[in-house]
């Protein structure tokens, strides 16, 4: 955790978004992570995504568990309320927060230890409930804060920095999320900002459970030969299925793609996702095929990235519970307390 | 042959049934008929952790004097379960009555010479009248109610009214049930004589209601403004969440849109349940979970977070027999310490200790005001006895002028006006800081919530002085809670005495009866019913005013006594344990026997059964 605030002044030519905020207004405190940590790149991508989406910083709540990744919410969006909860339990706290106020944006930041080991159950259940959130796992395959133990996402037969070979099968969170019914599933790499920023933007604007597995090499404990979560390994094996342009509203697509190279997906709220295809036949709206494709490419040793699945018609937990439009935390006594007359009737029925 | 027991409006009937045989509704009908006759009743289910096939009992104490605790002993056994016949017959008081299904002849060795046997060929009557196997079973229950009504002198018209009310939505079932009832009444008229035990119309019930504590607490949560409920099924707390759900469906649907002004999540476990509650509380909604001992064990880490990060939460703990899986369908008061000091590190939590369903409602709503006011976890400690059994209790009341106390919440206007917002800043000297809801103001009032140490302005800090400053403030806040929890209730003995007794929770009804019994023997005690933790000064003053104070509890280790010793520095020698923890509800006979013995009075026969 840091206590060092960044200086507020900035270059006068820094561009502003529609709300008059500069990118600096979306930053947080100075990171205390190791120099070169992939997580800092993800924080920067979150800052960029929120800036580009013209989000009012205070209308977003950022929640995390425990671990290196879970410290990062202190390093972005300093004007947002944040909650560093307990290990592996961010999903339940986020679920409760979301139930209390459906009008805020919820960003859950977690790691592979936090979400694939101790918190696997809560990860699974928050996804299957369709809690509206952007859930980012900063996946480095290792426990950094406790100095280099394997996490549950470490690939079988990969090597730790000390030379130990991992004999356990890896948990693939993307496959899990797909199986559990996530309505938005992506994977990216902290070293590929061009891919990551639009993916985060789309996840934030997605209604329903949006999950991003972001491979984020641990510079201190998992960036060596024999690791499958190192910068070199991921760069060599990264297979992007598509590149995403995220548009708010029906703005015309300005990128110059040849016909047939792109596919557009329009969501409920009018946002349009334009995907430049890399894998020619990849259809990100077909869950079953996405799962098959992933299994196949994984067996071939590739790290598949991009927007892997989206259900543009997704519903969320509030739809399922059919809650009122007013956030529950804004309902007053008049809305909530039935009063003495109703109580008299209840009493009468109990005699 | 003992003389047949004779009593009007003062006896105990016990039904021995097979779980899942449909007996619960018939037995409930029996109890309601007595209440409608104006005679107070205390009824308790004794049931196994099972859905079908195992023995279950329903113990009904009919008591015009109004004692609502368990009496102990059985005057009339309705023995409908062959599995438990021998022990059921053995339990009957000498001179008592055995009511049984005489369709199949029983050898004389299966009876006792000192009891009165009443046989009704229930199976035969039912099988003759009905052909459908399910009807045969269900109506057999109603037939025995009819026969009992006649021999106990309960007016048949009362049943007709009750059946009409019960099946108001399925009117076809009314005549069928009345017919079955009359099969029993008619057989009894023809073949049986009235028992020495009689129900006589009285006027001692008044406007009281008959309801279980879980239902009352669930309704209390509705009135307390709870909007988020996250829970995981566990006996004996499940029916609390179900009651909340059912009352919300009745009372909390927006009439214009048909949408719900509440959110209920059946979570994947108790950890997620309390996590959801903490998340909702952090974000400004009133939220609760309900659970039992094993759930409290699982929730420890989050309870500590709620304490240290100062997040409102309400936990209803419907206590059952521990430790571990313990006796899941039996009652105890054995989570007192695990709730009071839940979680690692130095923690203390507020507990409310209701005595009956009436207080379950009252404290159930109050808990949400206290959680917001104190920004911490509030435990409401029920137990299986009051939670799952319907008790006669004063009608629920609500003051329409009462507003929800949302505690110290800093608004956008206050921030705009330049208020100095420090999330952990003690502005009023009561240790309670202001908080902001997420999303309040574009550039003021945001803070980072964490379970790690931080300064008054919520900035991370591992400095010793900063940590101690915060921990000391939490102690001041806990002090402030003393005047907010319900005050203890004093019952003075008619004569000055050096003896006192402390008790709490579902022990109440048995305690009051025991005090009457002791008083009639000239044994005087002042009694104080503790209703909240932290203990107020009145509790310690009471102890200091007496030479010897009995502490009556339903657990093995005298947990409340431990709490009194550790929080008030009380000399253990002054606090005498009176403990009942076999899983059955404590009785007046037990309490008065124990205390009389400890006060040096000679024991009376039949008192010491534990």
Q: What CATH number is attached to the domain comprising B70?
A: 3.40.920.10
Separation of alpha carbons A252 and A262, rounded Å: 14
**Smallest CA–CA separation between B97 and chain A, in Å?**
29
The DSSP code for B239 is H
Whether omega for the bond prior to residue B473 falls within 30 degrees of 0, making it cis, is no
Q: Which residues of B touch A78 (CB under 8 A)?
A: 446
Measure CB to CB from residue A328 to each of B35, B285, B438 and give the nearest one: B285
Question: Do B376 and B433 lie in a common domain?
Answer: no
Lowest average pLDDT, out of A262-271, B41-50, B251-260, B528-537, goes to: A262-271
* Residue A111 lies inside a defined structural domain of this protein: yes
pLDDT at A28 > cutoff 90: yes
Q: What percentage of chain B carries pLDDT values higher than 70?
A: 99
Separation of alpha carbons A107 and B342, rounded Å: 30
* Residue A269 lies inside a defined structural domain of this protein: yes
Count of structural domains, chain B: 4
* Residue B605 lies inside a defined structural domain of this protein: no
* Residue B403 lies inside a defined structural domain of this protein: no
Q: What is the pTM of this model?
A: 0.96
Q: Is B395 on the interface with A (CB under 8 A)?
A: yes
Count of structural domains, chain A: 1
Specify which residues B74 forms β-bridges with: B92
Question: Which chain B residue has the Cα nearest residue A318?
Answer: B263
**Smallest CA–CA separation between A201 and chain B, in Å?**
20
**Smallest CA–CA separation between B271 and chain A, in Å?**
8
* Residue B256 lies inside a defined structural domain of this protein: yes
Mean pLDDT of A142-150: 90
The per-residue pLDDT for A260 is 63
- Pairwise CB contact (< 8 Å): B404 & A333: yes
Picking from A286, A124, A266, the residue whose alpha carbon sits closest to that of residue A209 is A124
Confidence of residue B297 (pLDDT cuts 50, 70, 90): very high
Question: Do B369 and B418 lie in a common domain?
Answer: no
Which pLDDT tens digit goes with each residue over B17-35? 998 888 999 999 999 999 9
Measure CB to CB from residue A89 to each of B208, B222, B275 and give the nearest one: B275
Question: Do B90 and B129 lie in a common domain?
Answer: yes
Q: Is A180 on the interface with B (CB under 8 A)?
A: no
Strand pairing report for B350-352 and B532-533: antiparallel
Q: Give the sign of the dihedral formed by CA A306, CA A309, CA A315, CA A317.
A: negative
End of a domain among B198, B230, B257?
A: B198
The per-residue pLDDT for B1 is 60
* Residue A339 lies inside a defined structural domain of this protein: no
Measure CB to CB from residue A3 to each of B219, B439, B460 and give the nearest one: B460
- Pairwise CB contact (< 8 Å): B443 & A103: no
* Residue B118 lies inside a defined structural domain of this protein: yes
Separation of alpha carbons B312 and B292, rounded Å: 19
pLDDT at A287 > cutoff 80: yes
Q: Give the sign of the dihedral formed by CA B198, CA B201, CA B205, CA B209.
A: positive
Which pLDDT tens digit goes with each residue over B93-102? 999 999 999 9
The per-residue pLDDT for A257 is 58
The per-residue pLDDT for B607 is 41
Separation of alpha carbons A236 and B182, rounded Å: 86
The per-residue pLDDT for A258 is 62
Q: Is A343 on the interface with B (CB under 8 A)?
A: yes
Tokens 């809560």 sit on residue = A122
The CATH number for A213's domain is 3.40.50.970
Q: What range does the domain containing B591 cover?
A: 489-598
The CATH number for B231's domain is 3.40.50.970
What token pair was written down for B102?
């005489």
- Pairwise CB contact (< 8 Å): B461 & A3: yes
Specify whether the CB–CB gap between A82 and A63 falls below 8 A. yes
Question: Do B95 and B228 lie in a common domain?
Answer: no
End of a domain among B460, B485, B510?
A: B485
Question: Do B216 and B177 lie in a common domain?
Answer: no
Question: Do B435 and B340 lie in a common domain?
Answer: no
Question: Do B474 and B583 lie in a common domain?
Answer: no
Which pLDDT tens digit goes with each residue over A78-95? 999 999 999 999 999 999
Specify which residues A244 forms β-bridges with: A275
* ipTM exceeding 0.85, yes/no: yes
Separation of alpha carbons B33 and B45, rounded Å: 17
Question: Do B248 and B360 lie in a common domain?
Answer: yes
Contact residues for B560 (Cβ-Cβ < 8 A; gap 6+):
B333, B336, B502, B504, B530, B551, B553
* Residue A2 lies inside a defined structural domain of this protein: no
Q: According to DSSP H, which parts of B317-421 are helical?
A: 336-340, 357-374, 384-388, 412-416
pLDDT at B605 > cutoff 70: no
* Residue A4 lies inside a defined structural domain of this protein: no
* Residue A150 lies inside a defined structural domain of this protein: yes
* Residue B165 lies inside a defined structural domain of this protein: yes
Q: What range does the domain containing A69 cover?
A: 23-333
The per-residue pLDDT for B138 is 93
Q: Which residues of A touch B260 (CB under 8 A)?
A: 321-324
Q: Which residues of B touch A103 (CB under 8 A)?
A: 439
Specify whether the CB–CB gap between A212 and A138 falls below 8 A. no
Specify which residues B107 forms β-bridges with: none
* Residue A314 lies inside a defined structural domain of this protein: yes
The per-residue pLDDT for B268 is 98
* Residue B610 lies inside a defined structural domain of this protein: no
pLDDT at B596 > cutoff 70: yes
Lowest average pLDDT, out of A280-284, B72-76, B414-418, goes to: A280-284
Tokens 């980012």 sit on residue = A136
Q: Is B278 on the interface with A (CB under 8 A)?
A: yes
Q: Which residues of B touch A94 (CB under 8 A)?
A: 279
**Smallest CA–CA separation between B540 and chain A, in Å?**
36
Mean pLDDT rounded to a whole number for chain B? 96
Which pLDDT tens digit goes with each residue over B298-343? 999 999 999 999 999 999 999 999 999 999 999 999 999 999 999 9
The per-residue pLDDT for A221 is 93
Measure CB to CB from residue A81 to each of B257, B398, B438 and give the nearest one: B438
Question: Do B183 and B280 lie in a common domain?
Answer: no
Specify which residues B597 forms β-bridges with: none
End of a domain among B466, B485, B504?
A: B485
Interface test with A, best of B256, B438, B458 (most A CBs within 10 A): B438
Specify whether the CB–CB gap between B518 and B596 falls below 8 A. yes
Confidence of residue B196 (pLDDT cuts 50, 70, 90): very high
Q: Is A93 on the interface with B (CB under 8 A)?
A: yes
């Amino acid at each position: 955790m840091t206590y060092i605030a960044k200086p507020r002044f900035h270059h006068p030519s820094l561009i502003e978004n529609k709300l008059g905020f500069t990118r600096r207004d979306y930053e947080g405190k100075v990171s205390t992570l190791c120099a070169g940590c992939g997580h800092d790149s993800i924080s920067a991508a979150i800052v960029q995504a929120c800036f580009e989406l013209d989000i009012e910083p205070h209308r977003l709540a950022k929640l995390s568990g425990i671990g290196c990744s879970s410290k990062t919410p202190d390093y972005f969006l300093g004007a947002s309320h944040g909650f560093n909860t307990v290990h592996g339990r961010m999903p339940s706290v986020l679920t409760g927060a979301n139930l209390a106020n459906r009008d805020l944006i919820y960003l859950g930041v977690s790691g592979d230890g936090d979400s694939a080991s101790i918190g696997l159950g809560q990860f699974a259940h928050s996804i299957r409930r369709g809690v509206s959130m952007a859930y980012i796992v900063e996946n480095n395959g290792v426990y950094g804060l406790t100095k280099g133990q394997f996490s549950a996402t470490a690939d079988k037969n990969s090597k730790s920095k000390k030379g130990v070979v991992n004999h356990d099968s890896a948990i693939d969170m993307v496959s899990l999320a797909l199986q559990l019914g996530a309505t938005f599933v992506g994977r990216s790499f902290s070293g590929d900002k061009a891919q990551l920023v639009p993916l985060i933007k789309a996840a934030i604007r997605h209604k329903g459970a949006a999950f991003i597995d972001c491979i984020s090499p641990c510079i201190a404990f998992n960036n060596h030969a024999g690791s499958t979560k190192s910068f070199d390994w991921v760069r060599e094996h990264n297979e992007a299925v598509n590149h995403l342009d995220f548009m708010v509203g029906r703005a015309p697509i300005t990128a110059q793609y040849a016909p047939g190279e792109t596919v557009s997906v329009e969501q409920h709220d009018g946002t349009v996702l334009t995907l430049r295809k890399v894998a020619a036949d990849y259809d990100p709206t077909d869950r079953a095929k996405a799962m098959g494709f992933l299994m196949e490419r994984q067996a071939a040793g590739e790290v598949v990235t991009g927007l892997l699945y989206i259900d543009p018609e997704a519903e969320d937990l509030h739809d399922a519970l059919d809650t009122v439009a007013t956030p529950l935390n804004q309902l007053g006594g008049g809305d909530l307390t039935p009063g003495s007359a109703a109580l008299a009737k209840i009493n009468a029925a109990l005699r | 042959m003992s003389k047949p027991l004779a009593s009007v409006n003062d006896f105990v009937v016990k039904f021995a049934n097979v779980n899942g045989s449909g007996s619960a509704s018939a037995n409930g009908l029996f109890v309601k008929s007595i209440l409608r006759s104006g005679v107070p009743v205390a009824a308790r289910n004794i049931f196994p952790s099972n859905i079908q096939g195992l023995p279950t009992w329903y113990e009904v104490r009919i008591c015009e004097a109004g004692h609502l605790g368990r009496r102990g002993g059985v005057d009339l056994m309705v023995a409908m379960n062959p599995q438990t016949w021998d022990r059921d017959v053995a339990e009957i008081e000498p001179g008592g009555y055995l009511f049984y299904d005489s369709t199949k002849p029983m050898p004389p060795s299966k009876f006792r010479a000192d009891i009165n046997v009443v046989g009704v060929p229930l199976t035969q009557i039912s099988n003759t009248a009905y052909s459908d196997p399910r009807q045969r079973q269900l109506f057999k229950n109603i037939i025995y109610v009819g026969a009992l009504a006649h021999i106990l002198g309960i007016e048949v018209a009362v049943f007709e009214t009750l059946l009409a009310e019960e099946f108001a939505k399925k009117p076809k079932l009314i005549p069928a049930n009345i017919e079955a009832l009359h099969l029993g009444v008619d057989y009894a008229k023809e073949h049986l004589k009235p028992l020495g035990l009689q129900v006589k119309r009285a006027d001692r019930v008044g406007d009281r209601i008959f309801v279980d504590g879980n239902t009352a607490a669930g309704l209390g949560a509705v009135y307390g403004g709870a909007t988020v409920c996250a829970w995981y099924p566990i006996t004996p707390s499940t029916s609390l969440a179900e009651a909340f759900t059912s009352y919300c469906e009745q009372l909390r649907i927006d009439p214009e849109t048909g949408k719900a002004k509440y959110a209920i999540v059946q979570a994947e476990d108790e950890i997620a349940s309390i996590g959801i509650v903490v998340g909702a509380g952090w974000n400004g909604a009133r939220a609760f979970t309900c659970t039992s001992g094993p759930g409290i064990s699982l929730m420890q880490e989050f309870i500590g977070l709620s304490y240290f990060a100062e997040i409102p939460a309400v936990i209803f703990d419907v206590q059952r027999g521990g430790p571990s899986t313990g006796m899941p369908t039996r009652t105890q008061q054995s989570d007192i310490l695990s709730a009071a000091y839940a979680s690692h590190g130095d923690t203390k939590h507020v507990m409310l200790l209701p005595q009956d369903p009436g207080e379950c409602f009252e404290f159930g709503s109050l808990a949400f005001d206290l959680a917001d006011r104190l920004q911490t976890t509030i435990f409401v400690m029920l137990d299986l006895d009051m939670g799952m059994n319907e008790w006669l209790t004063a009608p629920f009341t609500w003051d329409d002028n009462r507003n929800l106390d949302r505690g110290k919440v800093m608004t956008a206007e206050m921030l705009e006006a330049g208020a100095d917002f420090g999330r952990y800043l003690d502005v009023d000297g009561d240790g309670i800081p202001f908080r902001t809801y997420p999303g309040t103001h574009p550039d003021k009032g945001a803070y980072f919530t964490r379970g790690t140490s931080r300064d008054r302005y919520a900035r991370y800090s591992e400095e010793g002085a900063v940590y101690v400053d915060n921990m000391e403030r939490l102690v001041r806040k806990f002090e402030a809670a003393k005047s907010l929890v319900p005050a203890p209730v004093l019952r003075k003995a008619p004569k000055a005495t050096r003896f006192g007794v402390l008790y709490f929770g579902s022990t109440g009804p048995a305690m009051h009866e025991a005090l009457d019994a002791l008083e009639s023997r000239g044994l005087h005690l002042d009694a104080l019913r503790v209703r909240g933790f932290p203990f107020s000064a009145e509790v310690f003053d009471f102890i200091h005013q007496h030479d010897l104070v009995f502490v009556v509890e339903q657990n093995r280790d005298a947990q409340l006594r431990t709490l009194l010793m550790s929080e008030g520095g009380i000399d253990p020698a002054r606090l005498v344990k009176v403990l009942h923890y076999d899983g059955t509800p404590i009785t007046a006979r037990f309490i008065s026997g124990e205390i009389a013995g400890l006060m040096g009075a000679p024991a009376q026969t039949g008192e010491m059964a534990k």
